[in-house]
Structure formats: C-alpha cells, structure tokens
Structure 1
Amino acid sequence: MATINIRRDVADPFYRYKMEKLQSKIEGKGNGIKSVIVNLPSIATSLARPPIYVVKYFGFELGAQTNTGDNDRWIINGAHEASKLQDLLDGFITRFVLCKECHNPETDLTISKDQNIIRNCKACGQRTMVDARLKLSSYILKNPPKKEGKEKRDKKEKKKSRAAGNGEEGKEASNSEEEGNKNGNGGLVTGSNNLDQYKAEAGSDDEFSRHIREAAKDITADGTADGGFTIDTSEKAMKERQRNELTSAVEKLTMGDDEDDEEGAGSSSFDTFATWFEAQGDKPSDVDDIEIWKKLSELGLDQKHKTLQVLPQCMFDENIVKQIAPRAGLLKKLINKTDRHEKAFLGGIERLVGKSFPALIPSMPTILHQIYENEIVSEEAILKWGEKPSKRYVDTATSKKVKGASASFLTWLKEADDEEDSEEEEEDDE
C-alpha cells in the first residue's frame, strides 16, 4: 500500500516518518450514506495515537456522528472523500501529534495532574501543551490514552529490576537448592527443561522463575500428569494433533457466533489460508512473514480478528517459545492493539497449547512472558484473559489447566502493576 510522509509539507522522499495514505469508501445512500475509513488502524499506529481519537476528530470537524470502531469499521456519517479526510488528518497531526518545538511526530500524550494534555517529544525532549479549547481535547481528558512507548518500557524495566532484587534476596536459598541437586536430594523432578529455558532467557534465577518452578511440579519429565494422564509427545503425534486442531479451529469459525460475526470473513477464506500455509513446508519457519501478509491480504483476512485465532495453529509448534520473537513484527501489525484482536490471539495460543501441544502447558508462563516482552499483546489483555476459565476456544477443563499453569506469570504481572500504581500515587501526592 502506498505510503506518504506524516508531514505532507516535507517533500523529502527519505523522510523517516511515514504512514499509509488514507483510504475511504462511501457506502449506502440517502439518509443512510456513510464513509468508512478502511486503513485507520494502520494510520493510527504510525501516529502512535488510538484510532478512536482520529475518527472522533473527524466527527468534530465535520459535525458528523461517528462509529467507534465496532468490527474494525471506522465510520463517519455522510459522504466524505478520502482527499478531504486526508486534509483533516493534517490538522489532527499538527494539533495532537507534532512537537511544537521541533515539529517531530515522535511524541506521545499524557495527562498532567492539573488536567492538561501534554505532548512528550522523544526527539528533542520538550513537553508542550495541546490546546484545551479543542473539542477533541475534552474527549481525550475523559478517555485518556493508555500508557505506551517509553512509559511502558520504563514500567517493564522497573518490573525487571524488582524481580532481580527479589532474586538477590533469595540467592542464598537458591545456592542451597543447587547444592542439594548435586548431592541427589532436592533436585527438580518435573518441568526442569522449561524452567532452564526460561532462566537462560530471563538472565537470572529470580523469584518469578521460582514461581514457575512451583507451578510445574504437577507435570513429570515424561509428560505424565499426577492424575496418570499420559501425553504422547512423539513428533508424529504432535503434528497430527496440530493438523486436527487447525481443522477444528477453521470449522469453529465456519459455524461462527453472533459476537464474532465479521462481514466478508468467509470460512472458505480461512480454510484456503490454512491449506496454503500447510503446503509451504514442513516447519512453520519455512514460511516468510511477508508471504503470510501477502496471502492474508489477498484473501481479505489481514484486518479480521478471527485470523488471530487461526494463525497460532499455523505459525507455531512445540518450539513456540523461540518462535514468538521472530514473528512479533507481523503479529503486532495484524493485532493493532484492538481488544478483539488481542483476545482472539490469546485464544489461539490457548487452543494451540491446550489441544495441539498439551505437554507445553507448564511452559505457559514462559510463553506469556515472550508475548509480553515483545509487546504483541498488552498486559491489560493478558490479565483479562487469565481472569477465569472459558469454553470459548477450548473446553472448560482444558482452559482451566492452561490458565492455572499461567498463574505465576499473571500474579507477577498484577502485583508488579499494583506496586507501580502505588508508587505513582505517592509521587503525585508529593
């Protein structure tokens, strides 16, 4: 898709800040005529602003009602040409994106204690105020942006530091445990491979790792649960389960339900994609991200949240922990941080692990950690997903196992978040 400079007054073809050219289509007739902005999520991502802010700005400027993005359809009542909306977008960028000092679009929005909207520029470091008299300013104050960008990265660093600190406090205990392992008394008997893998990636034997170790104790090294249920972990069995679950996932989308119905997301398209992916090679890594994107676009599935239910069945296998990071760029582009897309992706992961590769259930904390670290899904979505078992993507019993195994990561994420909120409140009081 054609891209243009975010600042259209800059003619430099090598200008680093780009976005897709706005595309819209006019639907309906008479009093029911409306304009649909086809690629608003992509444009909003390039501007680091929620899509709802952009569409609300259009509505205020045009004096028209807007749709809040149900089914990823961003609608403005009335007939509005793409060129007109592109001109209005320039106004939004000037007022709510560009730094007033250096005119760089690399900013994010925060709300100050005195209820002013501040643009924080990552390029020059200046903090400039947005005009409070604008109609959209009132909307933003009532619907503040989620913490993203630098604040989110800082938040993660705090969590890592806190976890590392806890690890130092428990270092002596860990050393004693290691000594016991050498002597043959007190060694890990279950889930050790998963834990060792996580420790290598995390870089420290912190408290979080110990929580994961505790959560894995109900699974023995040969994949047998305490209840006697044996998991066939042979390559042939795993591949067969994955193929069956992919077929099942597509069939589930074929039946559909009221909540997830999407215009134009025909079941045959999902089936065609699954068949195409399987024909590309024996391993998920055989298929390039660009080819996946092209195929999804060709089938009209690149904007559909149901696509995220199918993708994990195709793109990942028993090596999912190592496969997530290389796919992060494509997944973030497809998910676009909408609630429905995030929910569907986590549901796809739940189905992949719970049904295709049940031996990976103890690894759920590591899998979620990779998803969180690579900023594929927001922490809010992960916590909401983990609240209670659901039969939406798998049977309730399997959902309970998967989410139960994830408890250590969910607890760590929630407690660290609560502590940071308390720290922020104390700073505000000061």
Structure 2
Amino acid sequence: MAAMMMNISGTTPVEDPEYRYKMPRLVGKVEGRGNGIKTAIPNMTQVAAALHRPAGEVTKFFGCELGAQTTWTEETERAIVNGAHTTQVLQDKLSIYIEKFVLCPSCRLPETSYKIKNDMIYHQCVACGFRGSVDMQHKLTTFILKSHKLEKKAREKDKKKSKGEDDDGRKKKKKQQQQHKDGGKAELTDAEKAEKKRKKKEKAEKLVAAAEDAEAADASEDEDAVDDTGALDSAINGLRAFVSKSPEPVATMSEVRAVQTFCALPRTERAYILVAALFGDGDASAALSPDAKALAILSALKSDSGPMALIGGFEKLAAVDHESLQSKFPIILKKLYDADVLEEQAILDWHRADHVDRDVHLPDAVDDDMHQKLLKATDPFITWLKEAEEDGEEDGEDDDED
C-alpha cells in the first residue's frame, strides 16, 4: 500500500491546502531483537526523490541526529538505522533535515540545490534566487562534502575513459591510413568515405558545442557577479539594522562574520560591509567625524581583520559610495589615528607601494588607479607623520644628552 502524502515542511507545519510540494509520509519498521535490533525505512527512495536529495544523505542525517550507525544500499534501495526508532521520531528528525538542508531560508520553498565552493555548501534557490550557506556546524556537511568529492572523481574518471576510447579510435584510423600508404595510393571505399565525412561533421558539432559552452560560462560569470552585488547589498542592509540597536563591538564583529558567510561573500569584503553599514547610507560627513560608538566598532574590526583591511574598507567606501571622500581620505586616516584606532606605522605601511599586504586587503572594486589616487591625496598627511616621527626622535636624543 502506498504511503500517505504530506506537505514538505520543516519544523513549522504548512497548513495551506493549495500547497503543491508533497512527499510520502516516512515509514519506519523495527526489525530484529537484542543487540541486532534495527529500523528499516522501506520508502526512503520515494521520500528522498520528493526532496530532490540523495537517499544516502537523508539516511546519514538520521545517524547524525540519533547517534546511530546507518547503512544505505544502492542496489537494494534499503535504508537501515541501527536501534529501535518509532516512525514519529524519524518523521520529526526528517522535519529538521528539511528545515536545514532543503527549504530556502528566504522563501521557505523546497526549491534549493547545493552549490559547493571552497569546501563551503550553499543553498541555491531557483524560486527566489537566494544564495546562502547551510549550517556548516552540522556533522552532515562532512558527509555531503565527501560525497561531492567522490562524485567529482568519478566524473573525471569517466571523462578520462571516454578520452582513452577516442585515442584508440584515432590510433586505429592512423594504422589504416598507413596500410593504404604501404599498398600504394589506394582509393577510399564508400564506407571509408562515409566514416570520414561523419567524423568531420562530428568534429564541427563539437566545436560549435564548445563555443556555446564558453558563451554559457561567460553568462554564468555575469550572473554570479550580479548575485554577488545583491548579496553585498543584503549583507550591508542586514548589518546596518543590527548596528542600529547599539550592540557591543564584539557582538557586531560576530554579526559581520555571520552575514559575510551567510551571503557567500569573500572575506576581503568583511571590512567594507562594516564600513558601508556605518557610513554608506546618507551624508558622507559621518565618515569624516565618526562618533565614539563607531570608533569602538572600527577598533574591533582592526583587531579582527587587521589595519590593512580596515583601510581597504574605507578605500572601497570612497570608490563606490561617496566619491567626495576621495580627496578627503587623509582626514579619515587622521581621525582614526587621533582616536588610536590606527597606529602610525600601519598608515605608513599602507602608503608603501611594496607592502606585502597590499593585494591581500584591497577589495576588488578598488583598482590600481583608484588606489594611486588615494595614495596621492594622502601624501601631505604621510609627510606630516614622518616629520612628527623625526621630531619625536630628536626630542628623545636631547633628553638623553641632558
């Protein structure tokens, strides 16, 4: 008898009668006794298919949540969880899996697929376009990453095998051509002519397909760029709302790391996210005279990411949000210097063209021309810093003589 259907929902039930996302109600069957007792899930294949997830992954989740060994056999489509577990317990755990690994955090629809990059797993929602990381603290993520690597190796192996077959075909053709040469200039038979024509056509089709793939890849990169822009705006707006509640600087930095990771943005954007949240909205004058609260948060940013990242965040603010700050960039550095957020040596290091951290901290939006423009605007301030340093050294020498 087929299992009853139910709405695909996470930890919050969906009562909408028009809801179109359905799945079979999970069935658990306890087998064996004593130390060999186990729970089979006969309809795991159907449940996993409805969720668009591998059955082995769903089975493994039960093991992670229940602290039990699990077995998924592909040939027999048999899912086993060691120990005795009621159907209700399994269904409750499945709801947690759906919440964490199936539903889109934004639109709450089960329209997501995984996108794996740099050992991070992201939700990619085809319904609303949302992209964000899954809970990487969960033990299941290790299994997902391992499975992804195995699948990737299998694809590469198949690709090499296919390439080997093509090489064998080319060798055979070369041998036949050599035989023709040895026997004189023998004319090709009709079958050989047809084969030659087919190969030529196939080669042309491959060239066209390769061109189309390249075009699609370019389009995908453009789409990713648009996604990154939207993700950056989302991160900044979310952090701005958080900062408006006047949290402690340490809590603010935790939130910065969270939104950067959740929005799948590179770490080099972390400083800009914070600086833009503080000063990117409204008048640029706020960046020229930061209040005590902002200075405390910026000091926490320097401790977290380093002084070069902090200056890089302000560089992007001047390049993207407030062009008027480009000529006033030394004022920003002077304010941070006076407030002991930035030390003299850090500013001098930033101004050095050969400094090793220059390419590490600089956001993508700040190109070499913009960086040089800001360096030039800061030249008088750098000269003042160096002269002040020399005067301090001379005063120290006079004191020693006395």
Q: Same fold (TM over 0.5)?
A: no
**Interval of TM-score (by shorter of Structure 1 and Structure 2):** 0.3 to 0.5
Q: Which has the higher contact order (CA 8 A, sep 6+)?
A: 1
TM-score (norm 2): 0.38
Quick check: which one's helix share is greater? 2
